[in-house]
Structure 1
Amino acid sequence: MQDYQMYIDGAWCGADSGETFASKNPYTGQDWARIPKAGTTDVDRAVQAAQRAFTTGDWPRWTASARGAALVRLAGLITDNSDFLAKTEVRDNGKLLAEMSNQCRYMANWYAYYGGLADKVEGSVPPIDKPGVVNMVTHEPLGVCALITPWNSPLLLLAWKLAPALAAGNTVVIKPSEFTSASTLELMHFVEQADIPPGVVNVITGFGAEAGMPLVTHPLVRKIAFTGGEAAGRAINEAAARDFKKVTLELGGKSPNIVFDDADLDAAVPGAISGIFAASGQTCIAGSRLLLQDGIYDSFVERLTEMAGAAVLGDPMDPATNISPVATQAQHQKILSYIDIAKAEGANCILGGRAAQPEGAGGYFVEPTIFTDVRNDMRIAQEEVFGPVLSILRFADEDEAVHIANDSAYGLAAGVWTNNLSRALRMSRRLQAGTVWVNTYRSTSYTTPFGGTKNSGLGRENGLEAIKEYLQPKSVWLAEPTVVANPFIRR
């Protein structure tokens, strides 16, 4: 068992109550770490520290260039320690070491990118229609930001929030998922080494009701960035609205992955596998609805089933493993319940459909599962499962594909596989999704915006758009001292 502490005001500390909770290794099913269980007092302590750092500490006196340099230093430290961070994440959330190693190395780019962007946020001097007056528009940080991250990719999705928040000059309180807090706490060692002042970055750990919601509703918090489920996102948005706080919400998805009969099937079949079975389907952008055109339906299903059926389940630390465990026991049970729902609705399970237990494992495995004969009004096609469960639907032409794809409460992402450029452009325009991939799937970058439409969220992360989510414009008027002809009339 490894004991962790929270990070508040530049110091390591336990919860005020002294309570802790266990974090389980999803592969072994065994407890491996003890995490402090924060309460309202701890939340207030962290927010107060962030507020002091924002208003009276060294941080507000730093230039934008100095903030950027600190982020670049942090990027270098993450790169140097990416293997260590990746192994911590694997122990905590069970994802493949191969994926987490690549992810942890890649996430350093977010800190380098926003480090370079920090001193390039420019204001403006608009032309004014009033003589003797100059107007300047500046962009200022919001203040204390609450960053709430999920269990599926804790460090990467934290980078999407933390890097632009700090580049903009804010201070933050981070609340990681109670299932995967360890890697975020380990990251704080490198925040310290990057010489970011005390109180600028704080981490509290614990559960939603006792730590998460008190953080969201704290009167000194001015912005909440959240990645997670739709229900929690709705509750956060409603609570934030009472105090007019800014929010960025990246929520669920039920993304369509659409394959036309002119697609390159050698690329599209692995693309469909990547869309749903990579990360054991535990990704908001999972291509969990596979739409196949009539002409290729049977051959595609045959090739897909053969490839998915050959996937190796096992130890996520083993390079030979393709499918790792799901992260939590509760999620394991949820996935299995959706498989039962799909069968009861009349969907045809042609692969998987059961819990699995690879030799030597004690954790939470689900076989790669494929359903055919799925109607788009079935729950398996409309509700987010967040696991390795694929629904296959048939379509005849573009219009029907668009209708099926858009007939969803979600709008996070979509995939299109075609060799027809005109069709690719038409589908990209017509699909109601924040991201559309053509002849690829599950690609993201620090340079391009990411976010959803409809119930998939509010705001955008990544790219130039993300830093705007952590800034507010201020209009400054400079006038020559003159006698106003009539002081009772607006000038």
Structure 2
Amino acid sequence: MMNDLTLIDSASVAMPEPFVGRHLIDGAWTDSAETFQRHSPAHGTLVSTSAKGGVTETEAAIAAARRAFDTSGWAETSGKYRATLLLKVADLIDARREEIAVMEVLESGKPISQSRAEIEGAADLWRYAASLARTIHGDSHNSLGPDMLGVVLRDPIGVVSMITPWNFPFLIVSQKLPFALAAGCTAVVKPSEMTPSTTVMLGEMLIEAGLPKGVVNIVLGFGDPVGALMSAHDSVDMVSFTGSTGVGKRIAAAASGTLKKLSFELGGKNPQVIFPDADLDAAADAITFGIYFNAGECCNSGSRIIVHEDVAEALTNKIVALSRKVPFGDPLHPDTQVGAIISPEHQAKIAGYVRDAQSGGAKVALGGQALTLDGLPGQFYGPTVVTGVTPDMPIARDEVFGPVLAVLTFRDFDEAIQLANGATYGLSAGVWSTNMHTCLQFARKVQAGTVWTNTWMDGFPEMPFGGVKQSGQGRELGRYGLEEFTELKTLTMRVTPGRDNWVKG
């Protein structure tokens, strides 16, 4: 029942004036003939009006990035120069943290406490990328004999198209852009049309930090035509995309004509496997966090648990009890932990998965319905736990992207691995056991880019992030994330005179 939940009605916080967003092209702020608007998914109020880019603006942005890479000297700047600039950006992010966080709340619906932490984390990413800018290097080979020396150079790949999603708009652009800049690349960035404004704010900070014109360009608008052209254009050397697997496949098809490099962070149906010797209280709390964080609108959402049948009922009861205590409601209230769903269409999709599971024989142990909150006309979906789920159900296979937990059970280790690896995705996975042999055996066998043992969703800039199978290709973060934006060049040198002639006589 809804009255068993912890709900937070409108905090009656005064709304700021709507943000006006423009494109950043070749160092200049640019308008378009058309605009588009974004209303708060929680409050219903107008929060931003943005220039709506098309082919003309996208072509201009790509041309500016191409010129900046080929002729401005940016790619040849020292690591010290680039690092200093990135550190200035990090300081500017810190100075505007609250302003950025509030806009993130208004456009995405996420809670203000979470948004503040994400902006702080984004600044840390810029500082970490700055450290990498001064450590990037190639290799030398002096074992090729007395006459030869081999040098492997690591060059910036060139112009990068970056297409970012609506669920973590500022954090994800900060997982891409500073690493590309540290490598010496130039970029064209398209944020989601649902959350464009904080990327524009980042553009303001880049200019204030002294970034040369054309090195970063921002085009606001929709996937068609902006994202499509950024993916297919001959002058683009690489596409870095975070979003759904379906869109990733379309980008790959569009980019195939030029064989440009692709780096994708796509969907996930991430399992947590709980063995009978696990600390059930710790697991229950982490599972509750993993499914409700960002309202489940998270590629790393722990959206399915695979729990040993001996402890399934006890663990599910703990999760349901904790779920009732999680505050859902106004994302501007400091106590809220789960805010609004991004759009009415997405809320309907979430509800459809729950109804489908019920019709297939699954049981809803908690929730399964939208929430009505006083003073908040937006869309909210309650904490939902679905039990009796079988592997063939869409709720067990598809990325629901909402606060909906699917509970499956297993009998032995082999069945747990089979269920965990049964999805087409392979982004992340978790294992809960007090036996480290079990944890390590699971980690070796599960098909996932990240494996958490006795925790969930801890992340660090130093650790690479990305998926296998249909969760993507390439990696972000860590030194691997920097290397994604580089190409290797082999330099083979004769260092002594007297090369043997091939033509004799």
- Report the TM-score, using the length of structure 2 for normalisation: 0.94
Any idea what the Cα deviations from partners look like across 1:404-423, whole Å, max 9, x if unmatched? 11111011001111111111
Sequence identity, in percent?
37
Q: Residue 441 of structure 2 aligns with which residue?
A: 426
**Secondary structure of 1:160's aligned partner:** helix
C-alpha change, 1:384 and 1:483, in structure 2 (3 Å) is same
C-alpha change, 1:487 and 1:417, in structure 2 (3 Å) is same
Q: Does residue 293 in structure 1 map to residue 308 in structure 2?
A: yes
Question: Within 5 Å, which residues of 2 pair with 1:407-418?
Answer: 407-418=422-433
Instruction: Give the superposition deviation at 1:310.
Output: 2.9
Q: Residue 276 of structure 1 aligns with which residue?
A: 291
Q: Residue 217 of structure 1 aligns with which residue?
A: 232
Amino acid across the alignment from 2:26:
D
Q: Residue 78 of structure 1 aligns with which residue?
A: 93
Q: Does residue 461 in structure 1 map to residue 476 in structure 2?
A: yes
Q: Does residue 101 in structure 1 map to residue 116 in structure 2?
A: yes
Question: Within 5 Å, which residues of 2 pair with 1:179-194?
Answer: 179-194=194-209
Superposition RMSD in Å: 1.5
Any idea what the Cα deviations from partners look like across 1:178-201, whole Å, max 9, x if unmatched? 110011101111111211111111
Of 26, 29, 54, which aligns to 1:12? 29
> What CA distance in whole angstroms lies between the structure 1 residues aligned with 2:319 and 2:498?
79
Any idea what the Cα deviations from partners look like across 1:33-65, whole Å, max 9, x if unmatched? 111111111111001111111111242342121
Of 339, 350, 359, which aligns to 1:324? 339
Any idea what the Cα deviations from partners look like across 1:361-395, whole Å, max 9, x if unmatched? 11111111111110011111001110011100111
Any idea what the Cα deviations from partners look like across 1:102-153, whole Å, max 9, x if unmatched? 1100111111111111121122221353553322211101111001100000
Q: Does residue 399 in structure 1 map to residue 414 in structure 2?
A: yes
Contact 2:114 2:337 in 1 (8 A): no
> What CA distance in whole angstroms lies between the structure 1 residues aligned with 2:108 and 2:185?
29
Amino acid across the alignment from 1:259:
I
Q: Residue 149 of structure 1 aligns with which residue?
A: 164
**Secondary structure of 1:450's aligned partner:** coil
Contact 1:29 1:364 in 2 (8 A): no
**Secondary structure of 1:145's aligned partner:** strand
**Secondary structure of 1:292's aligned partner:** strand
> What CA distance in whole angstroms lies between the structure 1 residues aligned with 2:70 and 2:144?
35
Contact 1:147 1:175 in 2 (8 A): yes
**Secondary structure of 1:90's aligned partner:** helix
Q: Does residue 445 in structure 1 map to residue 460 in structure 2?
A: yes
Any idea what the Cα deviations from partners look like across 1:295-354, whole Å, max 9, x if unmatched? 211111111111112333211010222321111222112112212221222211121111
Question: Within 5 Å, which residues of 2 pair with 1:38-437?
Answer: 38-127=53-142, 129=144, 131-437=146-452
Q: Which runs of 5+ in 2 are unaligned?
A: 1-17
> What CA distance in whole angstroms lies between the structure 2 residues aligned with 1:114 and 1:48?
26
Any idea what the Cα deviations from partners look like across 1:183-230, whole Å, max 9, x if unmatched? 110111111121111111111011101110011111110001000001
The ranges of structure 1 where at least 4 consecutive aligned residues each deviate by more than 4 angstroms after the TM superposition are: 480-485
> What CA distance in whole angstroms lies between the structure 2 residues aligned with 1:488 and 1:396?
72
> What CA distance in whole angstroms lies between the structure 1 residues aligned with 2:183 and 2:66?
15
- Report the TM-score, using the length of structure 1 for normalisation: 0.96
**Secondary structure of 2:385's aligned partner:** strand
Instruction: Give the superposition deviation at 1:29.
Output: 2.4
